[in-house]
Amino acid sequence: MTDVKTSIDEMVKSNDVVLFMKGTKSMPQCGFSSRVAGVLNYMGVEFTDVNVLADQDIRQGIKDYSDWPTIPQLYVKGEFVGGCDIITEMTLSGELDQLFEANAVAFDKDAAEKIRAANG
């Protein structure tokens, strides 16, 4: 399991934004993963997607790594941000914008505003 933890650690730390998800950003395979990937894609965020369905060790390993029981899991600049509910709340409150701004992650502010307007 150490190799998996090392592999996950490298992915999380070598990419600005990483989403561990079921499926891929272009073809999510669960509603929760689809929602988070959809938000990131819509906001124009460049992110690395890791399909946990393709590797059972990564699927369990990421849960152990973050001490978080569910997928998807979003990481920004090496820090665990949260899963679907947390990302949805942060998007609607503007906290996700602030997180991206604080970490110099490029995103489309207008798209973020449109999400909030559509869900407000």
Q: How far apart (Å, rounded) are the C-alpha atoms in residues 19 and 58?
A: 12
| Mean pLDDT value of segment 32-61 | 97
Annotated binding-site residue? 30: yes
Average pLDDT over residues 45-55: 98
Specify whether domain 2-119 bears CATH 3.40.50.300. no
72 prior amide bond cis, ω within 30: yes
pLDDT band at 1 (very low <50, low <70, confident <90, very high): low
**Amino acid (one-letter) located at 50:** V
Q: What is the pLDDT of residue 93?
A: 97
Q: How confident is the model at residue 120, as a pLDDT?
A: 78
89-104 pLDDT per residue, tens: 999 999 999 999 999 9
Structural contact between residues 24 and 78, judged by C-beta atoms closer than 8 angstroms: no
Sequence ranges of the domains in the chain: 2-119
